Chain A
Amino acid sequence: MASSSAAAPGSADSTAARRNTKRPKYSKFTQQELPACKPILTPRAVISAFLLVSVVFVPIGVASLIASRKVVEIVHRYESSCLKGVDNKIAYIQSSADKTCKITLKVDKHMKSPIYVYYQLDNFYQNHRRYVKSRSDQQLRDPKEESSTSACKPEDIANGRAIVPCGLIAWSLFNDTYSFSYKNKSLTVNKKGIAWKSDREHKFGKNVLPKNFQNGSIIGGAHLNESIALSEQEDLIVWMRTAALPTFRKLYGKIEVDLDEGENISVKLQNNYNTYSFNGKKKLVLSTTSWLGGKNDFLGIAYLTVGGLCFFLALAFTIVYFVKPRQLGDPSYLSWNRNPGGH
């Protein structure tokens, strides 16, 4: 290093002596001699890389699995059990009959508050392009933009007036409701704070009130209280954050008491939402969380698998290198010459 850096000023001198020369100026950059690190895959590097990955991944995998195992999750599928014995489920769900349904959930393990209540839908394409685009962010944000509904067709205008909130997403708002009772006392479900703060504060206006909503010929989903501003309508806000995949969970509320092991929770639910047309399942989910979020065995298992695989590879490469230690050091490789002439 030292001598090569000393070479640079030397050649600069000689170029300065001949000012008009076309000699390219010397710099490490132009001569492509920048100091560089040139790592290559030596056995040691390969094995230590594999070992490093496995050393890092296995503990993470174990920690994730432990966290995931600590999470208690109750999942109950109810869409078919609630309509047992009904032949034409679609007609029934669209009728105005009483759709109350009672289910009982058993708490297998002590659940520490907060317990999150989710509904999970299946086969529901909230990520369909038509669906995703069918909303008006300006209208949701700003009371003056009430009439900007062009993206919302056909749920843009009803009876000659703009619908607020317009569009397919709002129109198809989920309208099953759940009420829980535990130890014969009703459990309060806290529905505040289930939506993202940024949505509440910046995307949904504090003074935008629902107007003319679900007044059209076909009623899609839930109605909205027209005296409450959109920013307070957290169910709507949660629903309007479209899901990524056709199977999705959405937050319904929080139960802020502990649930004891072996106890039963009875749930009275209004099974209003039509998933029967498209054979969608409906599930009610109660879950605690850990630092990892909900119950997520996949992550832990994946970490352990990759970690294990890397360990195995490290082992395999060690053996292979040991068996065939210096194949390439053989200089005969280098003196080899393709030239048909040979020497």
Chain B
Amino acid sequence: MPEGGRKRIHFSRLYSFSCLKSPFRDGHSQIGQKGYSRVVYCNDPDNLEAVQLNYGGNYVSTTKYTAFNFIPKSLFEQFRRVANIYFLIVACVSFSPLAPFTPLSIVAPLLVVIGATMAKEAVEDWRRRKQDIEANNRKVQVYSRDYTFVETRWKKLRVGDIIKVYKDEYFPADLLLLSSSYEDGVCYVDTMNLDGETNLKLKHALEATAHLHNEKSLQKFRAMVKCEDPNENLYSFIGTFQYEGKEHPLSLQQILLRDSKLKNTEYIYGVVIFTGHDTKVMQNSTDPPSKRSKIERKMDKIIYILFSSLIFISFIGSVVFGIETKRDISGGKYRRWYLHPENTTVFYDPRRATLASILHFLTALMLYGYLIPISLYVSIELVKVLQAIFINQDQEMYYEETDRPARARTSNLNEELGQVDTILSDKTGTLTCNSMEFVKSSIGGIPYGRGMTEVEKALAKRGSKGESEFDGVSSDFLGQNTDAVDSQKPVKGFNFRDERIINGQWVKEPHPDIIQKFFRVLAICHTAIPDADEDSGEISYEAESPDEAAFVIAARELGFEFFARTQTRISLHELNYESGKKVDRGYPLLHVLEFSSARKRMSVIVRNEENQILLLCKGADSVMFERLSQYGRQFEAETKDHIKRYSEAGLRTLVIAYRELGEEEYKLWDKEFSKAKTSVAADRDALVDEAADKMERDLILLGATAVEDRLQKGVPECIEKLAQAGIKLWVLTGDKMETAVNIGYACSLLRQDMKKIVITLDSPDILSLEKQGDKDALVKASLESIKKQISEGISQVKSAKESSNTDKETSAFGLIIDGKSLDYSLNKNLEKSFFELAVSCASVICCRSSPKQKARVTRLVKLGTGKTILSIGDGANDVGMLQEAHIGVGISGAEGMQAVMASDFAIAQFRFLERLLLVHGHWCYRRISLMICYFFYKNIAFGFTLFWFEAYASFSGQPAYNDWYMSFYNVFFTSLPVIALGVFDQDVSAKLCLKYPFLYLEGVEDTLFSWPRIIGWMLNGVISSLAIFFLTTNSIINQAFRRDGQVVDFEILGVTMYSIVVWTVNCQMALSINYFTWIQHFFIWGSIFFWYVFLLVYGYLSPAISSTAYMVFVEACAPSAVYWLATVLVVVCVLLPYFTYRAFQSRFLPMYHDIIQRKRVEGFEVEISDELPTQVQGKLMHMRERLKQREP
């Protein structure tokens, strides 16, 4: 049996391959075309044809490796690094007689380093595997051949199976919803795992299948689904459903995606459509683009420099060796007869001196290989992981409200955080809370709402605008602030205060009918789901966007309570203004024309109780005003004026309009629309949009809404600090220019003393061209206009700069540009000049920009400045921007998790950015740069002693030290202190980092990892090695070095020099850091101590193992005074130049951290009397905040 089965599968593969070649086999419309070829036989997975399709099972593996390919694949990953390849080659060659050391002493460190990295990979992969196993073995109810549901494991599901999923269970695969416990076949789904959105989504089954409620009815159920191939698009689905001879269109509404959860519904039945890796969520799980930090890229260059110097000194050695060797036989005479030059191997043959010297070159490459630090990569990786843990553990970046700590999602960009030059920030949800509050509205040309926004407060503070006339509200600003409690309890999302409207007072207003229609639109035109609390009867809403929730809440508060929704009906408790009574009204729902960022509006078509068909529409002003009918423009001028004012106050506005439809008109359109909806083609969306567009015309204006998106806590302060740290901030937002500018003021991005340069296409002549519809002329004129504006801006900046040279007052510029102009500015010809202008401005605001533009601006800034760019955002529309920038920071806020998933760091609040950059970024930058410099220093100092020794050994390739001393150098005697440096070092405390933000400039200007500094460290290494070699040899060699007349031989010189090297590099470490906890002390002095312990232990092993190291310390060195005196002398001599330099430099050419450290020590009393109370103060503040939160 199994054999037959296998054969069949094999055959079917061939068969399906031939199917691909003739896609029109069944002659069915679009289906079968490329990209739309999937066929699912529902409830019939054993059907011959279904088996022939041979879709994969539901087994999922997210691991990088399998048990079989782990070794080769991870090894391959390892050897993608140049340095590792070098070490591999060295290890291979070390088995030949060319090697200056024993092979084991070369291979062992390599194995340790590679093994450590592979172990890390293996552990990570094992974790993923465990998750996979757990997921694959979850249980699910599947409909079996004997017409009952039986339990099976997730991995055993096949395409076409019917399964039953219960409440709060995850969907095991992508399913087609057949029916649910609800009569009408709806169900609610939580997509938290997919996109992080916490609101419930409503899905509904096709009416044709909604009746399949029990096992019996499924018995005869057979259907076929034809749909798109597996793809990663979470937001669209195209397919048809053939059932009982009819074809039904399928949309995302019927699809339940794997990893989302069933909510509020007892159970559902569904057909498996995509399994395993074909599911949308798996198709989506691509690795984010891997980013490398600047420092690491620079480090590669240093490695190349070291490689070249390695080759250079090897070359010198080989040439000298060749000459020396050749001279060993001259004229038949043997010079160094003790080497037997006449009878030797090719490696030393004077007669073939050239060949010998070439071979020697290879030996030398190995010998001086200590210049390339083998453990550098692995140490850096380890250090960064530990640094990331510190970031994750920082309590100061933990946000209590959402219970989210900061997360470093990649550890390899930590030090990049310390070098950020420009921040590109999203506005909504990033600078603001993204929890919308309904504050104002303009209905029928009359503005309502007396609340005061934060922007207005900021404006009022500046006292520049005549705020008293604002909104026709005169005085009660202060009152608004203080008595926010206002007798009734505050409602989240609702901050609308106007006695003319609330408590049913609106009926007395001049146009109660318009007000009624207005709020009815708010209550009906949305996709929110009501969720009644069973105890209190209070209704809360699950809405797709916070704006929408704010509208529904506002409608509820003002007497239009939306309380129930079915697939075909929306029900309200409504206040009738004529009778003044509350009545329940139901609105049969005919169509929902959904919101999309392209359409910028949404509409619903309902039938009211008077049997009128109404289209209720809300949308952005840019698209709505052009859709008004001639008779619907009654309040256009006033409304426009109000909208402008609202956006100046930093509010988001939407225009509300409606339209009555005739029965005939609707029927005609309904047909067309349904046809568009059922079409199964790539351009379906376009067809639907087009059809919708036909209906959303001739609207009648009702008014406009304004919701406030509050600034997040601490944003202005944070921006101020970042500006002091020399970081430029660009805001890229989709908002209107006025809103953006005002938010800019509110969060101190723009200041009163700044000159604004505005680039816009809102000039009258452009607008008139737009109306004429001559596209070419429009483009040309726009380009010209932008060009002119940019060059004007540049000249303005230039003249300001020139004048600032004479008097010190520099005036800053703020550039404000809108989306359309941005489009033109990013044009190739203008890119450069736009960019020139943009970088010379202190802050830049791009408003009305689309996600794509955001990404493009990011790339432009990245390439143009060559500096480090950080982008920060919270929504799906920021993903491009986050991935494009050097560092992407995601705000884990309300708009879902996509931004976080695409980010490198995730924080909960914008204000944490300050700490992330100024403290962690600065520290990590400093640590890593010092660590790398020091790493090279220590290896150069060590490697070059070998070279100097060679010079005295006629470059024969004999290492000065015992093999094992050498191989342990990088692993035991010097590695731990440098790791401690990389993980723990602090130049100044976190508090001072925040207090003196200019310290951050060290990273922006890259002073700690500049070439002079790197070269300086390297030279220091070379000089150290010179001093070590010559001072040591001179002070101990030739004469007896002990009272008993013994002289220094090869082994003793090696031990002495090596001891001095270990002392030197560790003391150099102690000198170059100024932060000692017990960890530093332990590692630095421990390393030196360990060297002596090693020497003792190794020396006690039998001479067969220890060879030249046998008893050398105990017997020869330790009792000798000269050994110790030489150690002290040389170590002090070697460190003296650095110490003197530092003493001089920190006093007379101080770097920023030197200044602050000085400040700290000199202001000693400040720190003592300051630090402890601030901790207490912090506690108090914290408690106060908590109290405040509790009060409401």
Q: Point out residues on A near B: beta carbons under 8 Å.
A: 3-4, 7, 10-11, 21-26, 30-32, 34-43, 46, 49, 53, 57, 60, 64, 73, 90, 114, 116, 118, 120, 124-132, 137-138, 141, 153-155, 168, 171-172, 194, 196-198, 202-203, 220, 241-251, 254, 274, 277-278, 287, 289-296, 298-299, 302-303, 306, 309-310, 313, 317, 321, 324, 327-329, 333-334, 336-342
Interface 1/0 per residue, B1022-1043 and A, CB below 8 Å: 0000000001011101111111
Q: Does B1077 contact A (CB under 8 A)?
A: yes
Question: CB distance A118 to B340 under 8 Å?
Answer: no
Complex: how many Å from CA A120 to CA B1126?
23
Q: Which residues of B contact A202 (CB under 8 A)?
A: 1102-1103, 1110-1111
Question: CB distance A197 to B1115 under 8 Å?
Answer: yes
Question: CB distance A125 to B956 under 8 Å?
Answer: yes
* Total B residues in contact with A, Cβ cutoff 8 Å: 116
Q: Does B952 contact A (CB under 8 A)?
A: yes
Question: CB distance B954 to A293 under 8 Å?
Answer: no
Q: Which residues of A contact B404 (CB under 8 A)?
A: 22
Q: Give A326's nearest chain B residue, CB to CB.
A: B1162
A333 to chain B, nearest CB (A): 6
B740 to chain A, nearest CB (A): 18
Assuming the contacts A137-B1107, A277-B336, asked whether A299 and B1077 have C-beta atoms less than 8 A apart, the reply is no
Question: CB distance B956 to A128 under 8 Å?
Answer: yes
Q: Which of A23, A32, A132, A254 contacts B986 (CB 8 A)?
A: A32
Q: Which residues of A contact B753 (CB under 8 A)?
A: 341
> Could you write out 17 A-B pairs with CB less than 8 Å apart?
A22-B403, A35-B1077, A38-B1076, A38-B1160, A40-B1146, A64-B1125, A128-B953, A137-B1107, A197-B1115, A202-B1103, A220-B338, A242-B1049, A245-B1033, A291-B1043, A292-B1125, A294-B1040, A341-B723
Q: Give A1's nearest chain B residue, CB to CB.
A: B1172
Complex: how many Å from CA A157 to CA B993?
73
Q: Which residues of A contact B392 (CB under 8 A)?
A: 24
Complex: how many Å from CA A247 to CA B1037?
9
Q: Does B751 contact A (CB under 8 A)?
A: yes
Assuming the contacts A22-B404, A125-B954, A130-B344, asked whether A293 and B395 have C-beta atoms less than 8 A apart, the reply is no
Q: Which residues of B contact A49 (CB under 8 A)?
A: 1139
Given A7-B1175, A197-B1115, A242-B1049, 18 new contacts (CB under 8 A): A21-B403, A22-B403, A32-B390, A38-B1160, A114-B1045, A127-B952, A128-B336, A131-B956, A141-B1104, A196-B1115, A245-B1053, A249-B1047, A289-B1040, A293-B1042, A293-B1122, A294-B1039, A324-B1148, A328-B1154
Interface residues of B in 1126-1141 (CB under 8 A from A): 1126, 1129, 1132-1133, 1136, 1139-1140
Complex: how many Å from CA A291 to CA B1050?
22
Question: CB distance A127 to B984 under 8 Å?
Answer: no
Q: Which residues of B contact A310 (CB under 8 A)?
A: 1136
Question: CB distance A138 to B1161 under 8 Å?
Answer: no
Complex: how many Å from CA A155 to CA B337?
13
Complex: how many Å from CA A274 to CA B333?
13
Question: CB distance A334 to B1159 under 8 Å?
Answer: yes
Q: Give B1070's nearest chain A residue, CB to CB.
A: A39
B122 to chain A, nearest CB (A): 26
Q: Which residues of B contact A171 (CB under 8 A)?
A: 338
Q: Which of A64, A129, A289, A317 contacts B953 (CB 8 A)?
A: A129
Q: Give B334's nearest chain A residue, CB to CB.
A: A277
Question: CB distance B1129 to A23 under 8 Å?
Answer: no
Q: Which residues of A contact B403 (CB under 8 A)?
A: 21-23
Q: Give A193's nearest chain B residue, CB to CB.
A: B1044
Q: Give A47's nearest chain B residue, CB to CB.
A: B1143
A193 to chain B, nearest CB (A): 8
B362 to chain A, nearest CB (A): 13
Q: Point out residues on B near A: beta carbons under 8 Å.
A: 100, 333-340, 343-345, 347-348, 389-390, 392-395, 398, 400, 403-405, 723-724, 726, 751, 753-754, 809-810, 812, 842-843, 923, 949, 952-954, 956-958, 960, 984, 986, 990, 996, 998, 1001, 1031, 1033-1035, 1037-1054, 1074-1079, 1102-1104, 1107, 1110-1111, 1115-1116, 1120-1122, 1125-1126, 1129, 1132-1133, 1136, 1139-1140, 1142-1143, 1146-1148, 1150, 1154-1155, 1157-1162, 1172, 1175-1176, 1179
Question: CB distance B1148 to A198 under 8 Å?
Answer: no
Complex: how many Å from CA A328 to CA B1152?
11
Question: CB distance A4 to B1037 under 8 Å?
Answer: no
Q: Give A28's nearest chain B residue, CB to CB.
A: B1077
Complex: how many Å from CA A108 to CA B390?
71
Question: CB distance A289 to B1133 under 8 Å?
Answer: no
Question: CB distance B1035 to A245 under 8 Å?
Answer: no
Q: Which residues of B contact A251 (CB under 8 A)?
A: 1045-1047
Complex: how many Å from CA A339 to CA B1004?
12
Complex: how many Å from CA A309 to CA B1129?
13
Assuming the contacts A118-B1047, A277-B336, asked whether A340 and B1035 have C-beta atoms less than 8 A apart, the reply is no
B1010 to chain A, nearest CB (A): 17
Assuming the contacts A24-B394, A26-B395, A34-B1078, asked whether A294 and B1041 have C-beta atoms less than 8 A apart, the reply is yes
Assuming the contacts A3-B1176, A341-B751, asked whether A249 and B842 have C-beta atoms less than 8 A apart, the reply is no
Question: CB distance B1001 to A338 under 8 Å?
Answer: yes
Question: CB distance A129 to B1047 under 8 Å?
Answer: no
The 6 residue pairs across chains A and B that have the minimum distance between CB atoms: A294-B1039, A341-B812, A116-B1045, A294-B1040, A172-B338, A244-B1053
A43 to chain B, nearest CB (A): 7
Q: Which residues of A contact B1121 (CB under 8 A)?
A: 291-293
Q: Which of A30, A168, A172 contacts B393 (CB 8 A)?
A: A30
Complex: how many Å from CA A31 to CA B1126?
42
B1051 to chain A, nearest CB (A): 7
Q: Which residues of B contact A125 (CB under 8 A)?
A: 336, 339, 953-954, 956
Q: Which residues of A contact B949 (CB under 8 A)?
A: 127
Q: Which of B337, B1043, B1103, B1139 contacts A289 (CB 8 A)?
A: B1043
B314 to chain A, nearest CB (A): 15
Complex: how many Å from CA A84 to CA B311?
47
Q: Which of B344, B1045, B1120 contacts A154 (CB 8 A)?
A: B344
